[in-house]
Amino acid sequence: MGKVQKKKSLADKVRKTKTSTEIKNNPFEVKINRKKFEVLGQKIKHDVGLPGVSRSKAIKKRKDTLLKEYKQKNKSNKFIDRRFGEYDTKMAPEDKILQRFAMERQRGHDKKDVYNLNEEEELTHYGQSLAEMEKFTDAGNSDDETEEKGLLSAELTASHFGGGGGLLRKKGPGDQEEEGGQRTKSRQELIEELIQKSKQEKRERQVKKEEAQELTEKLDQEWKSIQALMVKKTPKDADAEKTEEKPKVEEYDMMVRELGFEMKAQPSEKLKTPEELAREETEKLQKLEVHLTLISTLILSPTLPLIITVCVCVCVCVCACCGQADRLRRMMGDEGRDSSQHQVHMSADDLNDGFILDKHDKKTLAYEDGKWNIEDESEGGQDEDEAESGEDQETDAEEEEDDDEDGKEESAEEEGEGSIEKEDDDGHSDLDSEEEESENEEENEDDDVVSVPKPKKKSVTKEEQEAAKAELPYTFTAPENYNCLKNLLNCHTPDNQRLIVARMQKSNHPSLAVGNKLKLQNLLGFLLEYVGELATRNPPDLLTVDKLIPELYTLCQMFPEAARQALQSIMGDVAHSMEEVIEVNGHAPFPTLDMLIYLKVIALLFPTSDFRHPVTTPALLFIGQALTKCPVRSLQDLTSGLVLCCLAVEYVSLSKRFLPELINFLFGTLHLAVQDKTSLGYSVVPPFRRSGKHCDLLVVSDSESISSWSRKSLPLSACKHLELEEDRDRDQHRLTCLSTCLDLVKRCCLLYKELTSFTHIFQPIRVLLSKHLSSQTLPDSLQELQSEIVEMISSAPAAHRVLVFDKKKPIPLKLLTPKIVEVLDYGKKRGSSREEREQERLKHKYKKEFKGALREIRKDSRFLAREKLSEVMNRDAERKRKVRELFGSLATQEGEWKALKRRKRK
């Protein structure tokens, strides 16, 4: 049918073109627009016009649109024919009917099908009919191989060669003879035939399968009968038999089949997005919390009264519960590891602690109020009466010992007598590594073994303590302000603090709720503040800071912008106050320990090697300023300075960028160690002075200490608080500082080896080391280091290539390319700039369009007027005609009447 259509349209075209050319060629139709000047190569659209044609076109268009509209005017209803293809002349009527029928069917189908269960539609799975699968559930796949071996069926070949579709099968011998008759068959018949065929095929297949199954069943039975005999044979024989039995399977077939059976890209477990992971994590934590509370309520209620009387009973209970709690904890993964370790060796006496985390049971939450051991007190009171007297002092001493655990010990104190003795161990176990914890727990185990028979409060309370610490709630709300966070973290061990922050972070993941992002961003700020506070404490609690670093890192990864802002504001404030002090005094005190820690944290969170970075560049500037503007007045200052130097070296270790302040400071530090400052041969750089009050800071006072010195790392807290009463200690410290300094110098040498001015940069250091320090007695290791440095400096190449500008590309000659002026529609427009030209063009266009539109409107109204006129004329003519008719009839009537009259008269 498509062909027919084409022909038609083609014919139309031909006819039309013919007419148009005819018209074009007709000199009476053509109007030639005469040109004034002939321009070579210019193409003009409108050199020839066909006014007649265009007028008739316009009229026709108006008739189609304007006239129709006019006629529809004041008419509210409209008849629209929506029959399919009614106005489509290109469609054959037969086609139209077919399409309409199909559509009709479809419409009914769509609506009905939703609830129609009896529809003859086959459900499939993996392209196989479900119904069939149900029927042959037993047909094992393993047997298929044996059955089909060696068969080269038509189907098989068909599937192998040329992709088995219906096409090939149709061309089979059976089909071919029909082919002749098929042409005559109508479509309807054809379809019916097809359906029939497929049904037949289906039936055949079914039958085949049934047969096959019967056969296999039969075989199975037979096999069973033989099996008894087969047992005696070696499996190898059986194998051999098998292989013999089967004629070898073609590899190709095997392969094809294997491919067929291979799972087709099954959906594996979905890769989880970070948000999903976070959600899962929180769900898990919440679930665990619920579990724990449940377990504790269940178990506590019966056991608590029993503790006093029946220990054994409790043992059993607890063991069971411990197992469960443990399992639950293990589910948590690595976060839970710490806590689970506490629980691994839980003994019978732990009963209370494993499940203290009951919200309803207020007395149990040791870390909240620490008043949960009422039972123990009643029990332990008798035993520990004697111990009570000494306890107070003990606790005092302990408090001094480990400050980190202040909070905990306070709670412990409240707990009272029972717990005090164990706090010692407690503190250690929490502070120290896990190994020690396990040791502790092993001890506990031992305890248990020995003391199961008698009721012992010692281990009980001890475990309670540990458990109280270990048992943190699984979910935390994000703190509203800094104080919230501080209060929350204050009384926990560093490990637990980290755990708390980690959980807080997980339970407030930004993908879980809308406000969480903000909360975590705040948390980041608070954490940074907290880190600063930890560093300002006396003594600084750097262990906790250390533990919090990974959390800070993850938070920073989540919110780089917030981290940047927080650190920038911290740094801005400190730098600002420093600047103010410098403006007044000309120098400033060294930055405090918290700032040093911040600088280190910055180095951990942000890349220090960037050419320009919003955080690390100011940080480096700050370090540089501190190193130039802070005079060294004590060993403490010197330690801060060395920390800054270490940081500076770390900052530039990757990028190897040159930091003059660093070299100056190290050089000045070495200068402090020079004993004889009379003939120096070099000049020191501020903030150091050639000689003066604090210029002998690093000169070792006692030569004995040199021999006894051994290298130890300096504590960071030495920047804050340094107490060295004895000369000996001071000497030790001096030597350590000196060794640090020398090591840093060595590192700098390595870093800056490549610089062209390397020798000039290190020249003064070399003079100092080789002329002054070498003559002084120093420990061997330092001497060695020193000579190494001198060696390194003097071995550097002194000769360099002369400076020359970079070679630049030769500038190409100016080419005389033609200037291209853009000619937009409506010609080129004047105007200096592009915008102006564009504006001109638009103005022009607007004017033209406006004129055109006016003309069109005029033409329209003229057309309408004409139409109206012709309408009126038509109406008038009609009326005239009718009147004349009437007159005519009247005349005839009268004529007849007169004739009749005349006849009568006659």
Partner 1 sequence: MAPAKKRNVKPEKSQKGVKTAKMDPNSCVERILESRKHANDVFDLLELLQSEDEKVLISAMSACTTLFCTLLERKELFTGKLHPEDEALIGGFTAEEKCQIFMRHRYNSCVEMLLEQLSHEEFNVKENALCCLIKCATAQGRHPLEDLDWSEHYSFPRELIQAVVENLVSKTTDNSLLISRFQQFLEMEDLRFYVMSSIRESVGQVMEKNKGALMPVYQNNVFTLMTNINMPSQESELTSFMVQQEAKHNDWKAAKLTEHKRVFERMWLGFLKYKLPSNMYKKILVILHDSILPHMSKPTLMIDFLTAAYDVGGAISLLALNGLFILIHQHNLEYPDFYQKLYNLLEPSVFHVKYRARFFHLANIFLSSSHLPVYLVAAFAKRLARLALTAPPTALLIVLPFIYNLIRRHPACRVLIHRPSAERELIKDPYLMDEEDPAMCHALDSSLWELKTLQNHYHPDVAKAAMLINTPLSGQEDDINEVLEITTHEMMERDLKHSQKKSVPLEFETATQLLKGGGNVLGQHFCLN
Binders in 575-634 for partner 1, by CB under 8 A:
575-576, 578-579, 586, 597, 600-601, 603-608, 610-615, 617-618, 620-622, 624-625, 628
Dist. CA 305–CA 303, nearest whole Å: 6
Tell the smallest beta-carbon distance from residue 284 to partner 1 (Å).
Answer: 23
Tell the smallest beta-carbon distance from residue 738 to partner 1 (Å).
Answer: 12
Dist. CA 827–CA 347, nearest whole Å: 99
Dist. CA 722–CA 14, nearest whole Å: 107
In the structure encoding, which two tokens stand for residue 663, read together? 């070299």
Interface size with partner 1, residues (CB under 8 A): 94
Candidate list 717, 770, 781, 783; residue touching partner 1; CB under 8 A: 717
Nearer residue to partner 1 within complex by CB, 298 or 685: 685
User: What distance separates the 2 farthest-apart alpha carbons in the chain?
Assistant: 181
Tell the smallest beta-carbon distance from residue 648 to partner 1 (Å).
Answer: 9
Dist. CA 499–CA 341, nearest whole Å: 14
Residues 678-707 that bind partner 1 (CB under 8 A): 683, 685-687
In the structure encoding, which two tokens stand for residue 202, read together? 């289906």
Tell the smallest beta-carbon distance from residue 659 to partner 1 (Å).
Answer: 5
Tell the smallest beta-carbon distance from residue 797 to partner 1 (Å).
Answer: 8
Tell the smallest beta-carbon distance from residue 785 to partner 1 (Å).
Answer: 13
Nearer residue to partner 1 within complex by CB, 59 or 755: 755
Number of residues in the chain: 906
Of 713, 688, 707, the residue nearest 698 (C-alpha): 688
Nearer residue to partner 1 within complex by CB, 478 or 716: 716
Q: Residue 859: CB partners within 8 Å, gap ≥ 6?
A: 58, 62
Using the contact rule CB under 8 A, the part of the chain among 48-56, 271-279, 436-444, 712-720 near partner 1 is: 712-720
Candidate list 365, 472, 716, 765; residue touching partner 1; CB under 8 A: 716
Nearer residue to partner 1 within complex by CB, 247 or 681: 681
Using the contact rule CB under 8 A, the part of the chain among 52-60, 83-91, 263-271, 639-647 near partner 1 is: 639-647
- Binding flags for partner 1, 457-496, as an x/- string (CB under 8 A): ----------------------------------------
C-alpha neighbours within 13 Å on the C-beta side of residue 754 = 5
Using the contact rule CB under 8 A, the part of the chain among 323-331, 417-425, 571-579, 858-866 near partner 1 is: 571-579
Tell the smallest beta-carbon distance from residue 608 to partner 1 (Å).
Answer: 7
Dist. CA 457–CA 381, nearest whole Å: 10
Residues 530-569 that bind partner 1 (CB under 8 A): 539, 542-543, 545-546, 549-550, 552-553, 556-557, 560-561, 563-564, 568
In the structure encoding, which two tokens stand for residue 382, read together? 């008798």
Of 507, 486, 508, the residue nearest 497 (C-alpha): 486
Tell the smallest beta-carbon distance from residue 334 to partner 1 (Å).
Answer: 13
- Binding flags for partner 1, 732-751, as an x/- string (CB under 8 A): --------x--xx--x----
Dist. CA 373–CA 384, nearest whole Å: 15
Tell the smallest beta-carbon distance from residue 260 to partner 1 (Å).
Answer: 47
Nearer residue to partner 1 within complex by CB, 372 or 559: 559
Tell the smallest beta-carbon distance from residue 639 to partner 1 (Å).
Answer: 9
Residues 661-680 that bind partner 1 (CB under 8 A): 661, 663-664
Using the contact rule CB under 8 A, the part of the chain among 49-57, 130-138, 412-420, 752-760 near partner 1 is: 752-760
Nearer residue to partner 1 within complex by CB, 347 or 636: 636
Candidate list 70, 84, 482, 658; residue touching partner 1; CB under 8 A: 658
Tell the smallest beta-carbon distance from residue 572 to partner 1 (Å).
Answer: 5
Tell the smallest beta-carbon distance from residue 362 to partner 1 (Å).
Answer: 37
Residues 753-812 that bind partner 1 (CB under 8 A): 755-758, 760-761, 798-806, 808
Dist. CA 594–CA 600, nearest whole Å: 10
Residue 81 CA: distances (Å) to CA of 77, 87, 90, 645: 13, 9, 17, 90
- Binding flags for partner 1, 225-264, as an x/- string (CB under 8 A): ----------------------------------------
Residues 413-442 that bind partner 1 (CB under 8 A): none
Tell the smallest beta-carbon distance from residue 571 to partner 1 (Å).
Answer: 7
Tell the smallest beta-carbon distance from residue 551 to partner 1 (Å).
Answer: 10
Nearer residue to partner 1 within complex by CB, 270 or 801: 801
User: 81-108: buried (b, 16+ CB within 10 Å) or exposed (e) per residue?
Assistant: eeeeeeeeeebeeeeeeeeeeeeeeeee
Dist. CA 427–CA 494, nearest whole Å: 11
Tell the smallest beta-carbon distance from residue 439 to partner 1 (Å).
Answer: 22
Task: Supply φ then ψ for residue 155, to 5 degrees.
Answer: -60, -45
Dist. CA 545–CA 234, nearest whole Å: 70
Q: What string of DSSP letters covers 269-331?
A: SPPPPHHHHHHHHHHHHHHHHHHHHHHHHHHHHHHHHHHHH-HHHHHHHHHHHHHHHHHHHHH
Q: What string of DSSP letters covers 675-699?
A: S--SS-SS---TTS-SSSTTTTTT-
Nearer residue to partner 1 within complex by CB, 740 or 786: 740
User: 763-785: buried (b, 16+ CB within 10 Å) or exposed (e) per residue?
Assistant: ebbbebbbebbeebebbeebeeb
Dist. CA 772–CA 743, nearest whole Å: 18
DSSP element (H, E) containing 48: strand 48-49
Three-state SS letters, 360-383: CCHHHCCCCCCCCCHHHHHHHHHH
Nearer residue to partner 1 within complex by CB, 300 or 748: 748
Beta-bridge mates of residue 794 = none
Nearer residue to partner 1 within complex by CB, 577 or 775: 577
Q: Does 660 help bind partner 1 (rule: CB under 8 A)?
A: yes
Using the contact rule CB under 8 A, the part of the chain among 30-38, 251-259, 640-648, 823-831 near partner 1 is: 640-648
Task: Supply φ then ψ for residue 125, to 5 degrees.
Answer: -145, 125
In the structure encoding, which two tokens stand for residue 880, read together? 């005239």
Q: Is the distance from CB of 478 to CB of 522 less than 8 angstroms?
A: yes
Mutual angle of helices 635-653 and 727-751, in 10-degree steps: 20
Radius of gyration of the chain measured on its C-alpha atoms: 51
Nearer residue to partner 1 within complex by CB, 49 or 715: 715
Tell the smallest beta-carbon distance from residue 377 to partner 1 (Å).
Answer: 36
Tell the smallest beta-carbon distance from residue 791 to partner 1 (Å).
Answer: 19
